Structure 1
Amino acid sequence: MAYVIGDACISCGACASECPVDAIAEGDGKYVVDADKCIECGACANACPVDAPTAG
C-alpha cells in the first residue's frame, strides 16, 4: 500500500527530493503522495525529520 503523509508534515520538501519516482508533490499545507506512482520504497519516511510519511 502506498505511503501517506500525515498532518505532522512541516512542508520542508525533504521527502519529495528523495522520492525516486517523483510521487510526492506539494499540496495544500502539506506534501501529498500519488498512490499510483508510489513504489513503497520508504525513502520518503527515511528522509522526513518529523516522521510524517507512513505506510498506508
Structure 2
Amino acid sequence: MRVHVDQDLCISCGTCIDTCPEVFDWNDEEKAQAIVDEVPPEVEEQAREAVESCPTNAIIEH
C-alpha cells in the first residue's frame, strides 16, 4: 500500500498525522506528507483510517 497527499487539497488539519504518525508528518510548507514510500503492514489499518478521515480527500491510496 502506498499513499500520497495532494498538496493542493491539504488544509493542514493534522488528522492524518494524529491518526498515523508512522506514515504522515508535516513538510516545510506546514502541510501533511507521506514520509514512507510503502506503508508498513503493521500500520496499514491506521493509514487507511487516515485516508478515510481526511476532510478534503487529499490523501490518495494506491
Q: TM-score, normalised by structure 1?
A: 0.76
Q: 1:35 aligns to what?
A: 36
Distance 2:60 2:38 in 1: 16
CA shift in 2, pair 1:4/1:54, >3 Å: same
Q: 1:10 aligns to what?
A: 11
Give 1:12's aligned amino acid: C
May I ask how many residue pairs the two structures share in their alignment? Answer: 55
Larger radius of gyration: 2
Write 1 or 2 for the structure with the bigger share of helix.
Answer: 2
SS of 1:32's partner is strand
Give 2:33's aligned amino acid: V
Identity %: 27
Structure 1 unpaired stretches of 5+:
none
1:38 CA drift (Å): 2.3
Q: Does 1:51 align with 2:52?
A: no
State the superposition RMSD in angstroms.
2.0
